[in-house]
Amino acid sequence: MEVIIQSSKQEACALGARWIARLLRQKPRAVLGLATGSTPVLLYKELIRLHREEGLDFSGVTTFNLDEYLGLAPEHPASYHHFMQENLFRHINIAPENTHIPDGQATDVPATCRAYEEKIQAAGGIDLQILGIGGDGHIGFNEPSSSLTSRTRIKSLTQRTRQDNAPFFEKPEDIPQHVITMGVGTIMDAREIVLLAFGQGKAAPISATVEGPITASVPASILQFHSKATLLLDEEAAGDLKRAEYYRWVHDNKPDWQKV
């Protein structure tokens, strides 16, 4: 696991975008795993800028999103289908048939989840997975106590997660109780993982993820076992890390060929 601390979320997202751009230039038909929520918005804005100003090409790219609310139509303003269209897809040259998001209106949820896993495998697996992290250490919608080998499935949201997502809904009762989410095991299958975390509210889960024990109580802690996981943090999110100065030293003293 590599921890990279930047002075601001803008700088961290710019670095994350360069990370993705490097992959796409090396592998134009790359498979990306994408996240939603407020954390990756600046990352997506920078990818759009790279597409418009520097010709970053998404025409051969395939994407798989982490999750979707059950019961929301794709056009619902709080759905992740809508989020991805507004924040990334309609601004770049990606083929609509190459974008995949779990079906929030699925009638046979187990079959839908199996099919999603099969599509990921048929695409050759995910080359790079973007993640955020919840205040309780969840990744995707894999809440604390989720199996660390889980696959795409239905999950019930905790009250804390529902409260965190309340700003995206008009009324508290409108917030769905269930989602379809990639499992922890599915996420860990990605060949590379980049996790973004910003703000003081992420300091405790980041500390537990990086420097705590590996436990299902903090699902993100499983990333300690990944061979190529990178955490891009701002100063506030790194605030509880005991070895923050060491992480800064490692990043600042990389050989040139390792730098992005």
Q: What CATH number should be reported for the domain holding residue 49?
A: 3.40.50.1360
Distance of CA 130 to the CA centre of its chain: 4
Q: Active site includes 57? A: no
The amino acid at residue 115 is A
Contact 209, 172 (CB under 8 A): no
Q: Active site includes 138? A: yes
What's the number of domains the chain is made of? 1
Helix, strand, coil % in the chain, rounded to nearest 5: 40, 15, 40
The model's confidence at residue 253, banded by pLDDT at 50, 70 and 90, is very high
Q: Which of 138, 164, 189, 234 is catalytic?
A: 138
**Residue 164 pLDDT:** 82
Q: Which of 103, 143, 189, 234 is catalytic?
A: 143
Q: Active site includes 226? A: no
- Cβ neighbors of 99 (< 8 A, separation 6 or more) are 62, 63, 65, 84, 89
What average pLDDT does range 113-138 have in this prediction? 97
pTM above 0.75, yes or no: yes
Q: Which of 46, 67, 68, 164 is catalytic?
A: 67
Full residue range of the structural domain in which residue 62 is found: 2-258
Joined tokens for residue 87 = 């924040």
Q: Which of 46, 68, 103, 136 is catalytic?
A: 136
Joined tokens for residue 251 = 């990043």
Tens-digit pLDDT profile for residues 81-106 = 999 999 999 999 999 999 999 999 99
Q: Active site includes 67? A: yes
